């Protein structure tokens, strides 16, 4: 819990400082006088004046954001000798640059963070597949348990290496969102028997980018041997006499291909709201024996997901991993490409939500960010850097939305001024501000509702 809170605070702190520093740095470069650089909103709890202009650097009570206050005739009287340093007196291109600098700083930070994650290197599961989910696009394409995905292509002509399972899932997600096929070159686990398959990702409903999308595509957990790990005392597996190291060969006479398949059979071992006893054929110390296993039920309440079976044992051995690491230049190129891809994905999902082609469940708020921040810290520095980059991309793109109160709203005003030769009338500014606040409140409410629903298991 403490690590989650600290990771969340660090995440917000870094991203807010970078965003506001972008505004501040360009404002100073354009000769605008900056009155206050604040991390947080509301009452100032700490401040210090720095520099020849006496800019007040402050920390305020509400830490969910920040602002840079510049000298501006619209916000108060300006001494005649400082009129040229007022924000509203600067040329249109300078005001545009100052406003754009915050989101640009977040996107630049994302490039560097993604690159740093590649430079450090990440241990990721090898792209060796478990048995595809029944009826999924991967199963229809003919993929099988133990297939090692080596290359991918969008059109079947230009091929790129699949670096890891995460890379494969990302390419599959992109194909589903683009409503196109995903061409794959696969071999067996030993690298032999090379063949090409085509996954019809266009046929998959991609309204929500989540774990269920991966199930519909068919790319579940990476391949793992169907061997038991830790067995909890008093649980169904222990009661049945199962031991760590037992290899499950068959379940109810059907061959068990991998750990994921076995987990799915356990989950599905429910009928009429009651657990169904399974007969497992188990290999232990070179001997084969038959063991009856009756799972316990989890869930099934009126407001939760349907009941599933559990045996209270770790199923499968750790997946084989590969170290994904790039050199300085390649890492920087990959960081820029990833930032572009995530920015495009964010814009695409927002657009699809607006026209009803994607669910608003894709919106996440501070609780989800805090949860993921804590998880990424526990996984290691490279994972946390990649997570920080993802949030930085989201912050940069969301701030460019043409909504009053956001940087994109101000850019929208400047576009109007550039086209018409005059600023937006004050009465319209006031109306747009009120509308923008309403839209932001709705978005924040939906995001917070989604956070709570995820924590309660309702999504």
- Domain co-membership, 345 together with 450: yes
- Domain co-membership, 294 together with 333: no
For residue 371, what are its two tokens?
């949860």
pTM to 2 decimals? 0.76
- Domain co-membership, 210 together with 279: no
Rg (CA), the chain: 27
Is 158 inside any structural domain? Answer: yes
Instruction: Give the residue from 197, 217, 237 where a domain finishes.
Output: 217
Contact 181, 201 (CB under 8 A): yes
Q: Where are the alpha helices (DSSP H) in 355-425?
A: 366-379, 381-399, 407-420
- Domain co-membership, 366 together with 450: yes
Residue range(s) defining the domain that contains residue 296: 228-300
Catalytic site includes residue 20:
yes
pLDDT digits (tens, 9 = 90+) for 189-214: 888 899 999 999 888 876 666 667 78
Is 59 inside any structural domain? Answer: no
Which residues, in sequence order, are CB contacts of 36 under 8 Å at separation 6+? 47, 55, 56, 57, 58, 67, 68, 69
Instruction: Give the residue from 217, 242, 261 where a domain finishes.
Output: 217
Is 44 inside any structural domain? Answer: no
pLDDT, averaged across the chain: 85
Instruction: Give the residue from 183, 217, 251 where a domain finishes.
Output: 217
- Domain co-membership, 348 together with 455: yes
- Domain co-membership, 144 together with 116: no
- Domain co-membership, 160 together with 232: no
Say if residue 438 is exposed, middle or buried (CB neighbours under 10 Å; 0-12, 13-18, 19+): exposed
> What whole-number distance in Å separates Cα of residue 213 and Cα of residue 338?
20
> What whole-number distance in Å separates Cα of residue 91 and Cα of residue 79?
19
For residue 17, what are its two tokens?
């400082």
- Domain co-membership, 150 together with 234: no
Contact 219, 260 (CB under 8 A): no
Is 380 inside any structural domain? Answer: yes
- Who wins on pLDDT, 179 or 210? 179
For residue 459, what are its two tokens?
């999504």
- Domain co-membership, 190 together with 285: no
- Who wins on pLDDT, 459 or 312? 312
Contact 414, 407 (CB under 8 A): no
- Domain co-membership, 358 together with 382: yes
pLDDT digits (tens, 9 = 90+) for 343-354: 988 888 777 777
Is 83 inside any structural domain? Answer: no
Is 75 inside any structural domain? Answer: no
> What whole-number distance in Å separates Cα of residue 258 and Cα of residue 227?
9
For residue 260, what are its two tokens?
């994921």
Nearest to 314 by CA among 273, 355, 263, 374: 263
Which residues, in sequence order, are CB contacts of 271 under 8 Å at separation 6+? none
The confidence score (pLDDT) of residue 65 equals 83
pLDDT digits (tens, 9 = 90+) for 38-79: 998 888 898 899 888 889 999 998 877 889 999 988 888 888
Dihedral of CA 142/143/148/149: which sign? positive
Is 312 inside any structural domain? Answer: no
The confidence score (pLDDT) of residue 304 equals 55
160: β partners: 152
User: Is pLDDT at 459 greater than 70 in this prediction?
Assistant: no
> What whole-number distance in Å separates Cα of residue 312 and Cα of residue 295?
8
Mean pLDDT of the 426-435 span? 76
Backbone angles phi, psi at 161, to 5 degrees: -70, 140
> What whole-number distance in Å separates Cα of residue 18 and Cα of residue 393?
12
Nearest to 372 by CA among 360, 362, 387: 387
Contact 280, 250 (CB under 8 A): yes
Say which CATH number the domain at 194 has: 2.30.42.10
| Coil/strand/helix, residue 291 | strand
User: Is pLDDT at 451 greater than 60 in this prediction?
Assistant: no
Mean pLDDT of the 251-277 span? 90
Q: How many domains does the chain have?
A: 3
Per annotation, catalytic residue among 20, 208, 257, 417 = 20
Is 291 inside any structural domain? Answer: yes
Backbone angles phi, psi at 241, to 5 degrees: 95, 15
- Domain co-membership, 232 together with 212: no
- Domain co-membership, 352 together with 457: yes
């Amino acid at each position: 819990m403490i690590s989650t809170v600290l990771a969340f605070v660090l995440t917000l702190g870094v991203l807010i400082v970078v965003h506001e520093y972008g505004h501040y740095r360009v404002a100073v470069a354009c000769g605008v006088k900056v009155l206050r650089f604040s991390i947080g909103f509301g009452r100032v709890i700490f401040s210090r004046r720095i520099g020849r202009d006496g800019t007040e650097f402050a920390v305020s009570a509400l830490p969910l954001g920040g602002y840079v206050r510049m000298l501006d005739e619209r916000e108060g009287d300006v001494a005649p000798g400082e009129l040229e340093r007022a924000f509203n007196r600067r040329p249109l291109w300078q005001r545009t640059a100052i406003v754009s600098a915050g989101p640009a700083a977040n996107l630049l930070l994302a490039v560097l963070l993604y690159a740093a994650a590649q430079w450090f290197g990440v241990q990721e599961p090898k792209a060796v597949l478990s048995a595809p989910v029944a009826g999924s696009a991967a199963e229809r394409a003919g993929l099988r348990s133990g297939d090692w995905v080596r290359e991918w292509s969008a059109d079947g002509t230009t091929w790129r290496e699949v670096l890891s399972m995460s890379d494969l899932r990302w390419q599959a997600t992109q194909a589903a969102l683009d409503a196109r096929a995903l061409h794959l070159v696969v071999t067996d686990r030993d690298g032999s028997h090379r063949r090409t398959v085509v996954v019809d990702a266009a046929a998959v409903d991609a309204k929500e980018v989540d774990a269920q999308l991966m199930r519909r595509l068919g790319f579940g957990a990476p391949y793992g041997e169907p061997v038991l790990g830790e067995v909890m005392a008093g649980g169904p597996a222990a009661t049945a006499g199962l031991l760590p190291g037992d290899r499950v060969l068959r379940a109810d006479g059907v061959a068990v291909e991998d750990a994921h398949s076995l987990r799915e059979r356990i989950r599905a071992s429910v009928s009429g709201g009651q657990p169904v006893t399974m007969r497992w054929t188990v290999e232990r110390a070179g001997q084969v024996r038959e063991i009856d296993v009756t799972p316990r039920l989890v869930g099934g309440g009126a407001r939760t997901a349907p009941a599933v079976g559990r045996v209270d044992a770790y199923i499968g051995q750790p997946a084989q991993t590969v170290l994904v690491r790039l050199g300085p230049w390649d890492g920087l190129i990959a960081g820029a490409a990833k930032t572009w891809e995530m920015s495009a994905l964010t814009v695409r999902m927002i657009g699809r939500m607006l026209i009803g082609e994607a669910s608003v469940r894709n919106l996440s708020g501070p609780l989800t960010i805090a949860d993921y921040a804590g998880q990424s810290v526990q996984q290691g520095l490279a994972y946390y850097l990649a997570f920080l980059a993802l949030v930085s991309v989201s912050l940069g793109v969301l701030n460019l939305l043409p909504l009053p109160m956001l940087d994109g709203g101000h850019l929208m005003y400047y576009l109007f001024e550039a086209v018409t030769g005059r600023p937006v009338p004050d009465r319209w500014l006031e109306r747009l501000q009120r509308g923008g606040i309403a839209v932001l409140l709705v978005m924040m409410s939906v995001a917070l509702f989604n956070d709570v629903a995820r924590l309660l298991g309702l999504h």
